Chains A and B, each alone.
Chain A
Amino acid sequence: MKTWKKVIGLSTAVVLLGALTACGGGKGKTEGSSKKADENTLMMYQIGDKPDNYDALMETANKKIEEKTGVKLNIQYIGWGDYEKKMSVIVSSGENYDIAFADNYVPNAQKGAYADLTELAPKFAKDAYDQLDEAYIKGNLVDGKLYAFPVNGNVYSQQVLTFNKQYLDKYKLSIDNIKSYKDAENVLKTFHEKEPNIAAFAIGQGFKAQGDFDFPIGNGYPFAVDLNGDPKKIVNQYENKDFMDVLKTMHKWYQAGYIPSDAATSNTEFPLEGNTWFVRQETQGPYDYGDTILSNAAGQELVSKAFTTPLKSSDQARMANFVVSNTSKNKEKAVEVLGQINSDPELLNGLVWGIEGEAWEKIPGKEGKIKLLDGYKPNTHLPAWNTGNNKILYTQDTITDDMIKERDESIAKAETSPILGFNFVTSNVKTEMSNIANVMSQYLDGLNTGTVDPEETVPKLKEALVNAGYEKVLAEMQKQYDEFLKK
């Protein structure tokens, strides 16, 4: 009796399992057949919000792309904040996609998630490749190979203090002499006396005070190269005298009330277009044409004063990287499409400015100049910085030829970071790195927003770092850096 029941039970289980797999198989087949039609469509993951008129935008774009390359592009959008989480799952599951906005570029490239473009890029995207600044190629090399196709844009950047012009005018404040944080003190003081309820220096959690440094693994870690000091040495920026002064200034401002008292923990945003702030810290590059882009975004006049040297850094070179997946079956086509987006002005401008004739029109007789129409609305066009080659973008009439000339000159003039293209391999010091990350998460926001007194806290930080194994990581990094410099 019992065995008989067992046989029945087991056979039912087998039948059920069979049915399940058959079901899966059946679906697989239909998927297969539909893929045939999709073979000419490349899948691309992009960061951000899907534009409202995505279908219309892509229809025009795909016409041009298909004409030249024979394939179509399908862009899937993943939200700003979700991109990292979702891409890491997609990458580690080995899912099939063609192009993606790079996430965690160096580790994923080292893992082999991305296709090697060292030879593909110059071959299949020659036009666009040739327009790239040298810093882009150098900054994106991982173990001597290129895995990404960067968007040609703000190749250098510098930190600026951006002032709300309405308040400057209202209280007749002059910012002509501002070249560092310290210089801004007087203006902040006057403003704070007049408008104590408005954040004078509008910062919040995640804010980093800036100096003339470049960071091999990001400015959240205490490893830096002092651009005014020895470029061959890696140092702790929190031990640097100039940076200590910056932190002290921050602390002073915090105590004086120029910085919101909850800055170290607050996520409050200070909208650019609003009037809830007086000064903010921004990053600007050549394609911002001074304050033009920023003011456009804000819808009000803003003026900025730079306080760091313009620098071509790895961060800038990797700002918007497009990678081709190693799982892609159409790697060459994918590179071709990337090349197309980055070299065909008609195509790119149609995406970045919106639909021609509806959102903008060319100004007759003026090469590369356009006029915006009423149809130019937020969320009906793509951002320039992560779409394609900024060099071939048409510009609004407000941007003069002189400004464009200045832009190109400033790019040529900008300094190149000594650590451009240096990738620190952490495999030997993994434990120490995570210890250091823990220590930093404890001190970063407090120190950078001026909430705590640096004179007291920095020694504590140093001690905690030493306990976390700082010396070992520093030695390892210096070793790798020396090798990098030799090449």
Chain B
Amino acid sequence: MKKKPVSKVAIRSFNRPANLFFNVLIAVFALSCILPFLFVVAISLTNETALATHGYSFWPKEFSFFGYTYLFDQMQDKIFQALFVTVLVTVVGTLINSTATSLYAYVISRSNFPFRRFFTVFCLITMLFSPGMVANYIVMTNLLQLKDTIWALILPMAVSPFNIIVMRTFFKRSVSDSIIESARIDGASEMRIFIQIVLPLAVPGIATISLFAALGYWNDWFNALLYIQKDSLVPLQYLLMKIQNNIQYLTQNAGASSQLSGGMAAIPGESARMAIVVISTLPIAISYPFFQKYFVKGLTIGGVKE
């Protein structure tokens, strides 16, 4: 049989109807992701009383920036303080996380590292078995004395075993032993090999785990719930959580609420809450496209394992 010459690699290799079908499918999926957020934005721009009488709608019945002005007038200090904490934790945390993860992953990816097995298993065990919240709490508060410090928000998520495994595979796949060997022959030290040869080759992988880490830090509120007591260290997500929890508690314990009034902070209304959601989601959503180009290359754990 005569072979057809491959003239080009066809990217759009579906036929037209299939193409249309998948495009519609993806479009629906994309809409279902975006619509709720647009809805939140719409609510945040709706007049509070219009909300109570007409309910929610995609196009605000009565426009109002009250939600945002409320935030900037009433909660200004809190919001900006919290935003600062969140940004700080995300930046510092992501740096620490990606450094620690890539260092750890690199050594266990090198086949001539003697304790490779031990450290791989060590890492796997922490991934598979969790000691539970209370043990974590005791370590953080009693052993490390990190309660009420910024480190309590950073260190618990500084290394993720799953990311280490992903990165290890990535190093194995994208950095061949021969390249390291040739660098060694040219007289490069281990440090130089890592920084000048391996890291540039691994940029897509590192960018991907950095995004994971950044997302994790940005969205985390649980560590703050456990370890943070000081108002000045409350991150944005926890502030939001707190407001939401308070409202839920007060609506479910309506009986007590009349007596609660003394010493109770005024609860922000629906539109103000949605405004907080918008403020706390936008920055990380905006940073997405910058990581996106690495995402495509970086995410594979790898079909081929060496």
Contact = CB atoms under 8 A, between A and B. Distances in A.
Interface string B252-281: 101111111111111100100000000000
B137 interface: yes
Interface in A365-410: 378-379, 381-385
B248 interface: yes
Contacts of B137: 89-90, 93, 95
B141 interface: yes
A384 B248 contact: no
B31 interface: no
B127 interface: no
A283 interface: yes
Contacts of B252: 205-206
Contact of B226 (A48, A81, A86, A154): A86
A255 interface: no
A379 B115 contact: no
A281 interface: yes
A282 B114 contact: no
Contact of B248 (A81, A157, A280): A81
Interface in A6-51: 6, 9, 24, 27-28, 31, 48-51
B52 interface: yes
Contacts of A382: 262-263
Interface residues of B, number: 43
A31 B145 contact: yes
B265 A378 contact: yes
B259 to A, nearest CB: 4
A260 B216 CA distance: 38
A293 B258 contact: yes
Contact of B246 (A5, A79, A276): A79
B136 to A, nearest CB: 9
Contact of B255 (A90, A204, A282, A379): A282
B242 interface: yes
Given A9-B114, A89-B137, A382-B262, A267 B248 contact: yes
Contacts of A288: 258-259
Nearest to A57: B263
A92 interface: yes
A191 to B, nearest CB: 16
Contacts of B242: 79, 81-82
Contacts of A204: 251
B134 A89 contact: yes
Interface centre among B145, B255, B256 (most CB of A within 10 A): B255
B263 A281 contact: no
A81 B244 contact: yes
Given A297-B261, A384-B259, A269 B114 contact: no
Contacts of A5: 114
Given A6-B114, A379-B263, A385-B256, A267 B251 contact: yes
B130 interface: no
B183 interface: no
Interface string A98-111: 00000000000000
Contacts of A296: 261
Contacts of A283: 254-256
B259 A24 contact: no
Nearest to A89: B137
Contacts of B246: 49, 79-81
A197 interface: yes
B133 interface: yes
A447 interface: no
A76 interface: yes
Interface in B119-140: 133-134, 137-138
B263 A381 contact: yes
Interface centre among A9, A82, A95, A154 (most CB of B within 10 A): A82
Given A49-B264, A282-B254, A89 B143 contact: no
A288 B267 CA distance: 23
Interface string A40-83: 00000000111100000000000000000000000010111110
B263 A272 contact: no
A103 to B, nearest CB: 12
A2 B255 CA distance: 72
Nearest to A376: B262
A293 B258 CA distance: 7
A340 to B, nearest CB: 20
Nearest to B114: A5
Given A80-B250, A269-B247, A269-B250, A381 B262 contact: yes
A31 to B, nearest CB: 6
A294 interface: yes
Interface centre among B114, B138, B254, B257 (most CB of A within 10 A): B254
A93 B141 contact: yes
Interface of A: 2, 5-6, 9, 24, 27-28, 31, 48-51, 76, 78-82, 85-86, 89-90, 92-95, 154, 157, 197, 204-207, 267-269, 271-272, 274, 276, 280-284, 288, 293-294, 296-297, 319, 352, 378-379, 381-385
List the 6 closest pairs (A to B, CB-CB), nearest first.
A81-B245, A283-B255, A297-B261, A206-B252, A80-B249, A383-B262
Given A268-B251, A283-B256, A378-B265, 7 more contacts: A79-B242, A267-B251, A268-B270, A297-B258, A379-B265, A379-B266, A383-B259
